[in-house]
Structure 1
Amino acid sequence: MDIFPISLKLKQQLCLIVGGGSIAFRKASLLAKAGAILHVIAPEIDENLKMLVQASHGELVYKPFDEAYLNKPYKLVIAATDQPDVNHHVFVVCEQKNLLVNSVDDIPNCRFMVPALIDRSPLVISIASNGTSPVLSRQLRTQLETLIPHGMGKLAQFSGEWRKAVKEKISNPDERRIFWEDLYASPFKEQVFNDNLIVAKQMMEDALAKWTTPKGEVYLVGAGPGDPELLTLKALRLMQQSDVVIYDRLVSPPILDLCRRDADKIYVGKSRSNHAVPQEGINQLLIQYALEGKRVCRLKGGDPFIFGRGGEEIQELVTANIPFQVVPGITAASGCSAYAGIPLTHRDYAQSVRFLTGHLKEGSPELPWPELIYENQTLVLYMGLVGLETICNRLIEHGQRPDMPVALISKGTTPEQKVIVGNLENIAKKVVQHEVQAPTLTIIGEVVKLREQLQWQ
């Protein structure tokens, strides 16, 4: 994050605009809406801008910029002239005086940027691109305008009027947050939107009267194979409302960033032969935090019920009488194969697909080898990179042809995705040649041939 977004209170505060044209007027309009007192300095000042300044009880100075004018207690300064050298001079002087300064459409001469705004006062949403693409910010604002009801401003105002009462009733800040989240998920919100404030007031009073300390809950959430856009809507919602997030190494950083910012995030590892926290410890963490009344998100790469030990964790929760929800995720086999352009089934090549774990137990894979030797079948191996050579040799020994196509998909669906194609006989050597690293998915079958035609990533 290259910029730190803040909301600045400017009501009855002095703000200076250098420049008197249409650009200066646009910026002045935003400052005026925030209640600022406007001062404008320029040799010529647009008539609309002049009226705006007068309405704010501000000051008009008809002369070129003079740094002596900065001796007044300005909260911020905007340089909006059509002369780059003047704007630069304003920036330099403001920097010397530690004044917040913005030069319109001139990133190097800005200490702050003016974002695109969605105004649902008192709710205000800003969208900023660090000055790199203001048009894109405005387009996003337009899209969000259609998604955010105008009644959100009324809801924010109504909530603010009850904030003190809720705080007095519910002293714990985490519990207060849960109270508001539950309230906003109820019909209460629509009553405020429709100006049924008497009904909304009664609903608020009832909710406060019935409030009890919430019980903890565990969300077993599949995070998918890596691309954050593959998350389900329910997964994102529960990630956003969780107090604690317990995650492993297969959860990509962009997905983790989508969790609630102030949630406690606990890394439990789960890489081969190196578990930061053993499975028994993870089970205990889920129970411990839930018993404390927390909403716990157990965030797993892929799908929690496909080689994710989700079933084991749920068994422990059932035994401990902990309520839980399970949110399926796009498993690595589906996501990685799709991003690699390899369909797992195809009428001409494969009429079935089998998911297998490539983990070796005591150095030897325990797989039903005879059942795997079938021409029109796709095999998908999870966690099979270390034992790949052994697995390929076993398949050949049990009758599979050595030239059966094989694809390795490393870090699938992410920007670092790498796909290596070979066959049973040579794929293990290619792991070394191409320095393939985990997490890696292995696909074995004739469908691998389709990658050359269908790859799109």
Structure 2
Amino acid sequence: MADSRGDIAKTLKKPEARLDVFPAFMKVAGRKVLVVGHGGEAAAKVRLLGETNARIVVVAKEIEPELAKAVALFEAELIAEDFRKEHLSDAALVFSAREDWDLDKAVVEAARAAGIPVNAVDKPELCDFYTGALVNRAPIAVAITSTGVGPVLSRHIRARIEAMLPRATGELARLAENFRDAATKVIVDGALRRNFWARFFSGSVAANLYAGKTDKARSEAQRLLNSMAEEPGFVWLVGAGPGAEDLLTLRAQRLLQEADVIVHDALVPADVVAMGRRDAERIHVGKRKGAHSVPQSEICELLVELGQKGLKVVRLKAGDPMIFGRAAEEMEALREGGVGFEIVPGVTAAFAAAASAQIPLTLRGVASNLVFATGHNARSETLPDWAGLALKGATVAVYMGRTVAASVADRMINAGLIPETPVAVIENAAHPEERQFAGTLSELAVLSNRAEINGPVLIVIGEAVGHAALNNAEPLAPIEAARAAVA
């Protein structure tokens, strides 16, 4: 096998692959940091410095209200004078935000003459250092810089990292600090100590802390330290949402990065599954209508088996696990198997479809009730209970209803719902290939014969649909199909 370090060295010989900056974090606690400026740019730097324990000093003869508010909020010292080089005394860093090239250059030259690193806001040519887009999880800090080339890109990257790091990450780091000396003394073997910390940061200690159970997290850390026993396995039943990666919850993203095993359905897109930890085992238990490749009983047995082995398992389900996701059976099996579990909700298809098509699922004076239904029970000989609710003005969202659309329409019309009742059909809600169809209840039967509509389908029935933004939707019953249905 080739030496990967050699490959890296070859790559780094290219100037464009090397950085023009050296990443470092400056110690500023209790030290003076000078901000020279009067307006919004200076206020932004004061707010950024306000996330540190620096002693902030602002120099400007007159300041705008935004800066005045920031000075008061972060208890900065204000020197109401024009800038003089004497203001630089004892400063660790200097920011010039005078919003004028010559004025900023004067501050930069004075700071350099005094040997103090200086940043001229929005003037990278004058800067000794750049300020990154900051993710603050004190004492943990992450800073991203584009070295002045693409600050908007840095902010986008920061947003993704913000989503990945729970707010309690800093608290977890402080808890780890409390156990650091004890771990060094108790666990002499280096490999075992690394194993301890791996479990500390990704096992029950972290899970309890992130859930707000600080005392439980501390006791779990002590138990882990005392015994180094196998941690109990745990299963998270996670809703993957309708498929779009950015509709995953922050908790779901975090757990995918922590799981040892990801057990996922067929409807969960590969890009979402790929968000899991690189070395996590992935088990496909895909179930589609008419092609149940893995029986539910076997899925339940698998989850229990994995949990009893001490593994951290994410059971990834499309939509929300508690809505037609058969979560009840899995929860019961986990309880009986003595395996701990937690539910992580997801965006269910009805909400995703309604958002895409701008369908008000409830509407004052039109629909005050919302029914989630499955098309499967439309095969029964009696009218499903939810059909009766539709007659009373509820909006009905029918999951998995494409093949029984004709039966749904017939039974509801026979029960008294008018044929002109508005209907929307959303295929692949929130996916790039989403399609929207609009029509009436009398046209819904056509859906059963439209073989080209073969993705997951959600049907929305009710007067509220008539208030949706479906102007660009395809007709539910094209002219040819409508003629065929009549014939």
What's the TM-score, normalizing by structure 2?
0.58
**Corresponding residue for 2:458?**
441
Relative to structure 1, is the Cα distance of residues 453 and 347 closer, same or farther in structure 2, using a 3 angstrom cutoff? farther
Relative to structure 1, is the Cα distance of residues 231 and 408 closer, same or farther in structure 2, using a 3 angstrom cutoff? same
Displacement of 1:396 after TM fit? 0.9
Deviation track 1:60-109 (CA, whole Å, cap 9, x = no partner) reads: xxxxxxxxxxxxxxxxxxxxxxxxxxxxxxxxxxxxxxxxxxxxxxxxxx
Does residue 427 (structure 1) correspond to residue 472 (structure 2)? The answer is: no
Does residue 288 (structure 1) correspond to residue 305 (structure 2)? The answer is: yes
**Corresponding residue for 2:228?**
211
Displacement of 1:168 after TM fit? 3.4
CA distance in 2, matches of 1:9, 1:118: 28
CA distance in 2, matches of 1:251, 1:424: 30
Relative to structure 1, is the Cα distance of residues 174 and 246 closer, same or farther in structure 2, using a 3 angstrom cutoff? farther
Displacement of 1:244 after TM fit? 0.8
Correspondent of 1:397 among 393, 398, 414: 414
Relative to structure 1, is the Cα distance of residues 307 and 6 closer, same or farther in structure 2, using a 3 angstrom cutoff? farther
**Corresponding residue for 1:326?**
343
**Corresponding residue for 2:200?**
179
Q: Is the 8 A contact 1:219 1:296 kept in 2?
A: yes
Correspondent of 1:368 among 385, 398, 412: 385
CA distance in 1, matches of 2:160, 2:403: 47
Displacement of 1:298 after TM fit? 0.9
Displacement of 1:228 after TM fit? 2.3
CA distance in 1, matches of 2:284, 2:322: 20
Counterpart amino acid of residue 394 in structure 1: R
CA distance in 1, matches of 2:306, 2:383: 36
Does residue 241 (structure 1) correspond to residue 258 (structure 2)? The answer is: yes
**Corresponding residue for 2:86?**
none
**Corresponding residue for 1:86?**
none
Deviation track 1:175-205 (CA, whole Å, cap 9, x = no partner) reads: 76323435984999xxxxxxxxxxxxxx999
**Alignment identity in percent?**
31
**Corresponding residue for 1:191?**
none
Does residue 335 (structure 1) correspond to residue 352 (structure 2)? The answer is: yes
Q: Is the 8 A contact 1:243 1:294 kept in 2?
A: yes
CA distance in 1, matches of 2:5, 2:463: 55
**Corresponding residue for 1:35?**
none
Counterpart amino acid of residue 178 in structure 1: R
Deviation track 1:97-132 (CA, whole Å, cap 9, x = no partner) reads: xxxxxxxxxxxxxxxxxxx99999xx9989899xxx
Q: Is the 8 A contact 1:408 1:443 kept in 2?
A: yes
CA distance in 2, matches of 1:254, 1:437: 20
CA distance in 2, matches of 1:231, 1:324: 19
Helix, strand or coil at the partner of 1:299: strand
Does residue 229 (structure 1) correspond to residue 250 (structure 2)? The answer is: no
Deviation track 1:236-267 (CA, whole Å, cap 9, x = no partner) reads: 22222111111112212332222222111111
Consecutive unaligned residues in structure 1, runs of 5 or more: 33-115, 189-202
Deviation track 1:265-289 (CA, whole Å, cap 9, x = no partner) reads: 1111110021121101100100111
Counterpart amino acid of residue 189 in structure 2: E
Helix, strand or coil at the partner of 1:312: helix
**Corresponding residue for 1:110?**
none
Displacement of 1:434 after TM fit? 8.4
Relative to structure 1, is the Cα distance of residues 128 and 416 closer, same or farther in structure 2, using a 3 angstrom cutoff? farther
Q: Is the 8 A contact 2:285 2:299 kept in 1?
A: yes
Consecutive unaligned residues in structure 2, runs of 5 or more: 25-131, 210-219, 474-487
Displacement of 1:409 after TM fit? 0.7
Q: Is the 8 A contact 2:405 2:448 kept in 1?
A: no
**Corresponding residue for 1:450?**
467
Q: Is the 8 A contact 2:240 2:252 kept in 1?
A: yes
Q: Is the 8 A contact 2:234 2:311 kept in 1?
A: yes
Displacement of 1:169 after TM fit? 6.2
Counterpart amino acid of residue 255 in structure 1: V
CA distance in 1, matches of 2:144, 2:298: 41
Displacement of 1:417 after TM fit? 1.3
CA distance in 1, matches of 2:249, 2:6: 31
Does residue 168 (structure 1) correspond to residue 192 (structure 2)? The answer is: no
Helix, strand or coil at the partner of 1:298: strand
CA distance in 1, matches of 2:5, 2:464: 52
Displacement of 1:160 after TM fit? 12
Counterpart amino acid of residue 340 in structure 1: A
Relative to structure 1, is the Cα distance of residues 29 and 410 closer, same or farther in structure 2, using a 3 angstrom cutoff? closer
CA distance in 1, matches of 2:241, 2:335: 25
Deviation track 1:405-441 (CA, whole Å, cap 9, x = no partner) reads: 1110111112111110111111332565583223111
Q: For the aligned residues, what is the CA RMSD?
A: 4.9
Counterpart amino acid of residue 317 in structure 1: L
**Corresponding residue for 1:102?**
none
Displacement of 1:209 after TM fit? 4.0
Q: How does 1:23-62 map to 2 (within 5 A)?
A: 27=19
CA distance in 1, matches of 2:397, 2:207: 44
CA distance in 2, matches of 1:172, 1:141: 33
What's the TM-score, normalizing by structure 1?
0.61
**Corresponding residue for 2:426?**
409
Displacement of 1:211 after TM fit? 2.1
Q: Is the 8 A contact 2:378 2:408 kept in 1?
A: no
